[in-house]
Structure 1
Amino acid sequence: MKNTIDTPPKCTLKLRFTPSSSHGESLSFEALRTSVLLSSSPQETGDTARIRLHGPSLNNFFQMGMADAKTTQQTSIFSILSQAEVQIEAYSENQSPTLIFHGKVSQCKSVLQGTERFLEVLAQSSLLYTTLPSAPLSYENPVYASEILKSLCDTQQIQLQNNGFEALLQPPFLLQGNFLQQVKNLVNAQNGFFHFDTLQKTLFVGKDELLKPTDALKIPTDALYENVHFSDSFLSLSCLFQPNLQLGQSITLQSNLLKATDSSLLGESAYLPPWNGSWILDSLKHELSTEKTSSKWKTTLLAHRSA
């Protein structure tokens, strides 16, 4: 199958950094040359964003300090951003901005390459909630895991979507650590799956699948970037950026008929691609870049065959 996309659409990435309350106002970047590698994985890993910003307008930015509201002293911009929350919006022509990432910066540095300096940032969604304190939970009587999860989520004002995770736990049972640590210890001990979506502020939990069956998202042939790699059970493909995909979601591939030469008929025959059908998403990676020479606007996904 050939690449069906000649050039990606004209795209824009907007980043907003929000420092802690003592470090002043938010910083936004929109017109810079920007690249973002965004990956989503289940369990405690969550979403990770690798960001690179560059351009002449950053030269003064690297020299800049910001006033600390408490000490009235200048603070390094890298120190400020290393404690900041970051939100990323993406949109192409004739589309409204879509929030695709919300997390907290874990690393921030400048990189000199030739005569240019880049701002490189690593951010993780899980850092928003690893600092949330949770009181230790102990139980003297049998209790369902779903009840514990609901109690944890209610305390943090987080929605819970439970798809069949109903293990009955026998006492004594103790959960310690922050919110995500308690969820991890509880779900992993029962061989379950979970993903915390910071954009929806929802914890998805399941025994076999993360999401309850819903209408599948259809990916048409003209959105595919390159060859589809598949087996009877697993699928890997790249397609035009799909901002609405989420882990555990069902997708349907509907590729057009393919032509093949049939020597017995001395001509061509048509057949449906064997990767057509329903699949469940296991991991996602978005590669987005507004570079003129290496523009990217694609999603790569891994999935397994829907039962």
Structure 2
Amino acid sequence: MAEPPSTPPEPAPPAPVPSPAGPARSPHPVLALPCRSLWRSRHRPEDPDRFLASLRDEARRLGRQGAGAVEFHADACVLDARYAAPGPWREAGAILAAEGLAATVHLPYVWPDLTALDQTVWEGSIASIVTALRATSPLTPLLAAVHPANYATQALVLATPADQRPGLLDELATRLVAALRRLQTEVPPATAAVLALENLEGMPWALFDSVARAAGVAVCLDVGHAVSNGDDPVQLARTLGGRIRGLHLHDAVPPAGQGTGGAAVGRAHLPLGQGSLRLPELAAALAETGFAGPVVLELETGDALEAAIEKVRAAWSTAYR
């Protein structure tokens, strides 16, 4: 797949960035578990006062489960104006600090689209994500993951005929590089340092890699998305090395069709052990590179989450001993 057209020569890969202020970093990866008290429903954030009143107990419970960090979905910042200001996040950060926990952030991904060919949508998407980056900065997150596109554009790519897909992807990639560069200039350096581009199905890995390099951002390796895109996350972990800012972890099955990064995709966000992810090998590959960043377990609560925590603990204790 061709690299983004009209982009300047690639800069050197982003160097590993220093950890932001906050709880002391471990030489081992930090398990991040999702915050549920932030949300009343899948599309509606909780009232900030109720969220903060519930967060301390949730943080303590997550800590007992083995979390070193709590994951927050910053779509709340675009769905409720009260979360677009730093106040609630400052209080949340203080609660986490009191419990010895760090934070990770998933930047808005349902509504914004950094690849939008519609200029108004593109500008608004940048503004939404800048707002979320600034608002959540009091959390001093270890990771702020951003999607390359929203689900509508992803569906368009997957539905585009194979002979037309390269041209579309090149146009989208050019928009994405420009957007990522804008994001980094519109927030403080410490905030820009934790920004990482997450891989999604439908985007060939070579193109994803060239975009991240051209934009000068780190990578959030979503291992489930890699598997369901037909890529090998173990090999990617070795290849990326110090460019990985964080991981999103869930199991997946690869596409039934031929090729990678094409119209066929598998199924992701499965409980660990129900797909083809080779977790012990992944942990070993990450240990070889010295990875010690956040690993966000993207699973629902319940038995599947508890079982996944045990699998992660076992894989990491073996790989990092």
TM-score by length of 2: 0.24
Greater strand share, structure number: 1
In proportion to residue count, which structure has more helix? 2
When Rg is computed on C-alpha atoms for both structures, the one with the higher figure is 1
TM-score (norm 1): 0.24
